[in-house]
Amino acid sequence: MDSQNLRVGYFGNESQGRLLHSQDMDSQNLRRGFCCSHRGWTISGGIPVSPTGFTLGTVRDSLERQEDTIIFSLIERARFPLNRPAYVAGSAVSSSSLGEFVIRETEAVYAKSLSRRIHYGRFVAEVKYRDAPQDYEPAIRAKDRNALMKLLTSESVEEMVKRRVMKKAMVFGQNVTLGDDKDNRPRYKIDPLVVSRIYGEWVIPLTKIVEVEYLLRRLD
Ligand SMILES: O=C(O)C(=O)C[C@]1(C(=O)O)C=C[C@@H](O)C=C1
């Protein structure tokens, strides 16, 4: 998965949904991304300007809060795990314009929370750059993607995020019973491990690619 080849289908189904593509991440879009208006951030000369007091901690807090929306969206989406007929043009499910509209709009809502989280990498990258420009500038000038990737990666934070989203999926997605089931094993609306893997294999890597692509243009 490199920046030339960013194709993400919707998770857990077989639709050809296009959540994000490298073309979406050209310099224009990186600078004008829809999340630029996020909570007091403004854009000056193409660079996000943070409200005072914005730190790596507060940016991470935002990523943590966004997890709640994403996990609730995934839980909702998991109600229709494949739903293949819905994605076949002209099928009974999707043939009416209302059917198509509902499917498209519903998927867009699920995709938007993920897309927003991934593009939030721009803000994370900006804060990281400002914290240590002396570390980032040589790699930016050398256009060294690998060095940038190494600089911005924190494996311990990634592990923590994966464990946290798994736990949230358990808490938010646990089926509530009255205790008269034969076995008392908790049942989940979405497999918590799948949520953790979605983060580990898609969300975090894509966020990091956004961070790298943003940093590469930081000194333009
Ligand atoms: O928290 C950070 O430092 C980030 O850059 C965000 C994030 C993530 O996507 O969760 C990405 C890269 C790091 O390795 C750790 C976490």
Q: What is the pLDDT of residues 121-147, one digit of tens each?
A: 999 999 999 999 999 999 999 999 999
The SS3 assignment for 174 reads: strand
How far does the centroid of ligand 1 lie from the alpha carbon of residue 47, in Å? Answer: 20
Alpha carbon distance 106, 78 (integer Å): 13
Q: What is the pLDDT of residue 208?
A: 98
Query: pLDDT class for 13, splitting at 50, 70, 90?
Result: very low
Alpha carbon distance 187, 205 (integer Å): 29
Query: The tokens of 44 are what?
Result: 């000056």
Alpha carbon distance 66, 154 (integer Å): 19
Percent of the chain with pLDDT over 70: 67
Residue 127 Cβ contacting ligand 1 at under 6 Å = no
Comparing CA positions, the residue from 99, 97, 98, 114 lying closest to residue 17 is 114
How far does the centroid of ligand 1 lie from the alpha carbon of residue 203, in Å? Answer: 10
Look-up: residue for tokens 């790699």?
139
CB 74 within 8 A of CB 82: no
Residue 61 has pLDDT above 80, yes or no: yes
List CB contacts of 78: < 8 A, sequence separation 6 or more. Answer: 12, 189, 190
Q: What is the pLDDT of residue 94?
A: 57
Look-up: residue for tokens 């403004």?
42
Residue 152 Cβ contacting ligand 1 at under 6 Å = yes
Residue 209 Cβ contacting ligand 1 at under 6 Å = no
Query: The tokens of 85 are what?
Result: 């007929």
Q: Higher model confidence: residue 182 or residue 57?
A: 57
Q: Higher model confidence: residue 82 or residue 188?
A: 188
How far does the centroid of ligand 1 lie from the alpha carbon of residue 171, in Å? Answer: 23
Q: What distance lies between CA 219 and its chain's CA centroid? A: 25
Full-prediction pTM beyond 0.95? no
CA-closest residue to ligand 1 atom 9: 204
CB 189 within 8 A of CB 77: no
pLDDT digits (tens, 9 = 90+) for 14-38: 233 323 333 333 334 444 443 444 5
Query: pLDDT class for 91, splitting at 50, 70, 90?
Result: low
For the beta carbon of residue 28, count every other beta carbon within 10 angstroms.
10
Q: What distance lies between CA 76 and its chain's CA centroid? A: 16
How far does the centroid of ligand 1 lie from the alpha carbon of residue 76, in Å? Answer: 25
ipTM above 0.85, yes or no: yes
Q: Give the DSSP letter of residue 143.
A: T
Mean pLDDT, rounded, for 70-77: 93
